[in-house]
Amino acid sequence: MTSRNLLDRETSPYLLQHRGNPVHWQPWSPAILAEAQAQNRPILLSVGYAACHWCHVMAHESFENPAVARLINDHFIAVKVDREERPDIDSLYQSALALMGQQGGWPLTMFLLPDGRPFWGGTYFPPQPRYGRPSFTGVLREIIEVWTRRPARIQHNAEVLQNTLARHFRARPGTGLTPDRFDGYCHSLLEQMDPLFGGLKGAPKFPQVPLLSLLWRAYRRHHDPAYAQAVRLTLDNLCLGGLHDHLGGGFARYSTDEEWLVPHFEKMLYDTAQLIDLLTCLSSQPNSRHYAQAVELAIGWLRREMSDATGAFCASLDADSEGEEGRYYVWPYHELEEALSEPLRAVFIRSFDVSPHGNWEHKTILRFKTVPDPRDEFLLAEACRLLLLRRAERTPPARDDKCLTDWNGLVIHALAQAAFRFDRPDWLKLAERAYQAVQTHLGRDHRLFHSSCRGRVQAEAMLDDYAFMIRAALALYETTGRTDTLDQARLWLDTLNRHYWDEDGGGYFFTADDAPGLILRSKILHDAATPCGNGVMVEVLARLFLLTGEEHFRQRAERIITACGGGLDTEFPAMTSFLTGWELLNSGRQLIIVGLADDPSRAALIRAAAEADRSALVLQSLTPDQKLPPGHPAAARLAAAAGATAFLCHGPVCGLPVQDSAALSLALSSTP
């Protein structure tokens, strides 16, 4: 029996936060399951992440308590898991909790049979009964009593739950999508949006970028202003409200209220990456200067605070500092007075929601009262610079410095898109450096690992790692024309098809066929804070089909939709990534620009493409010596092109050649 806490051997910042607990925590491993079975002890599984506020609360209240630790150590095998390091474990047991009829979240607290099958669980448990929750010690004693006196009941629960989980992760085939069904789903989503503050109705509110992206596609498809209004209202409140770090850049994870004022202050890499993407897309719209400013601030935050020595990006910043949530970000009125002199103070107070009494717990969470007046821009920038310097004197939140392949894929994609849109070669270098870091430190023989921290890689890559990195590689190809990134995308796709594809049911499993086994092999079909890997693969395959004309890419994308789409009617809007992928497959446009690399006319055509809405546009920039794949609708016309020329194609039909950048801008704006 293990007689001490073994987390001091780990590199995960979250696991290391618990290495001093008197609980005899073990990291997840087949050996721990074997030990539990040898001793016939139940497993207490606790899952969280470094930036999780309530994980810290439960640790301080319970896991640092010697009496609670003694109860755990005497009766359980205690296992700690970093959900970001092992999303396969987290998603499996979060699904089990949901099937018990309980709300998921972190910390996740699950009780397992010695072989890993769950039989009961919850999330945060307080030290004494409150919030309508039983006390943690009460839960532990109840589990011990049932384990000792009524083991058959536990076995029955585990068997029923295992069978239910197996059905839950089984793909539900559908009949495919049609334009009418797509439009119906979009209209249904529009009705769920908050008409006053944006986002889904109610609180808490999350950015939900996959949902917003779908609504924007619906707007581009039908030009119904109601869709555009829903997206812009949400993004306006995100960029102007309390979720946005107006001084340092980036976005907090979610808002605790419906007005987007009070954030849960942790800052996750994936939220900011996805918002950079969407804000970049909408920055081509009128009255969107504040979107471009939010993108620039966010990328500054990535460069300054989240990039590691290799060039990859770290996972998150904690919600807490000095033991208090949000302390680093909020402002007592007297500090603002001290930091800013006139006229900066007057402009700042006029622009932001600042008062002597504050807007949250007698302090101020910075949010704009309205879109800032351009005449105040210089003074506001100077005020924010001074406050950022003042804030830097505080104790900063802890950084979780592990690098995750999937989240880096999201950032690389966002940086490539933003670099192209705003003509920022420095942002492109950030993207290319991170891409190279993933290849070097998280890749081997065209396979990927999921996580790297302090020189140690953890876990074979999962579906999302490949899906997001393939999409990132394609974004770099479209932005730079570098064929090595297209070649790498193909190689990663070959690995995914070989080790993750479900030959019987269709779609991709979350884990590889040669990865260490869990109690079952899951197939995830729902979007969460990030889009579902299977949904992203529909987009990836659609993009590859449009770039290459190879029919097998289209066929596989359609197979995923058919194999997994049966749940759309009951699970929507948790499957919006499938819809955006389908829309690209069926309505995506191809823009081919050909010309000499140093031809100013070619550069002008590319700039016109960069300034357009690229939400459903696939771009190839070629030199005259490069050829399109055989059968491409523009192949014959490309050969006859004289001088820098653009061809805009929709399906098998290409428009007339365009050589004037203004004419190309008009064509791109008028095409759905």
Answer yes or no: are the C-beta atoms of 468 and 413 closer than 8 Å: yes
At 1, the pLDDT band (50, 70, 90 cuts) reads low
Q: Which of 530, 416, 417, 396 lies closest to 463 in space, CA to CA?
A: 530
Provide, rounded to the nearest whole percent, the portion of the chain with pLDDT above 70.
99
pLDDT of residue 671: 57
**Same fold for the pair 7-168 and 589-670:** yes
* Bridge partners, 133 (sequence order): 130
- Which residues neighbour 35 within 8 Å (Cβ) at sequence distance 6 or greater? 1, 2, 77
Helix (H) or strand (E) holding 544: helix 533-548
CATH of 7-168 given 3.40.50.11290, 3.20.20.70, 3.30.1510.10, 3.40.30.10: 3.40.30.10
Which residues 6+ apart lie within 8 Å of 143 measured at CB? 42, 111, 120
Q: Is the pLDDT of residue 264 over 80?
A: yes
Q: Half-sphere exposure (CA, 13 Å, Cβ side) for 372? A: 26
Q: What percent of the chain lies above the pLDDT cut of 90?
A: 86
Q: First CA to last CA across the chain, in angstroms?
A: 65
Spacing of C-alpha 669 from chain mean position: 29
CATH number for the domain whose boundaries are 589-670: 3.40.30
Give the span between the Cα atoms of 196 and 258, in whole angstroms: 9
pLDDT above 80 (res 2): no
DSSP string, 149-210: H-HHHHHHHHHHHHHHHHHHTS--------HHHHHHHHHHHHHTB-TTT-SBSSSSB---HH
Checking if the pLDDT of 242 tops 90, the result is yes
> Which SS3 state, helix, strand or coil, does residue 267 take?
strand
Q: 473 pLDDT exceeds 70?
A: yes
CB-CB contact of 106 with 14 (8 Å): no
pTM (two decimals): 0.96
Least confident of 200-209, 256-265, 365-374, 482-491: 365-374
φ, ψ at 109 (rounded to 5°): -120, 110
Do β-strands 77-82 and 43-48 pair in parallel, antiparallel, or remain unpaired?
parallel
* Sign of the dihedral through C-alpha 662, 663, 666, 671: negative
Residue 659's SS3 state is: coil
**pLDDT (tens digit per residue) in 113-171:** 999 999 999 999 999 998 888 999 999 999 999 999 999 999 999 999 999 998 888 87
Select the more confidently predicted residue: 277 or 624.
277
Q: Is the pLDDT of residue 60 over 70?
A: yes
Give the number of residues written for the chain.
672
The pLDDT assigned to 638 comes to: 79
Q: Which CATH class is domain 179-322+399-587?
A: mainly alpha
Q: Which of 141, 419, 212 lies closest to 302 in space, CA to CA? A: 419
- pLDDT for res 570: 83
Which residue ranges make up each domain of the chain?
7-168, 179-322+399-587, 329-391, 589-670
C-alpha span between 85 and 49 (Å, rounded): 9
CA distance 19 to 7: 5
Place of tokens 């006196």: 149
The predicted structure's pLDDT at residue 672: 56
For residue 22, give the DSSP letter: S
> How far apart are alpha carbons 597 and 626 in whole angstroms?
12
Please state, as a whole number, how many other Cβ atoms lie within 10 Å of the Cβ of residue 180: 8
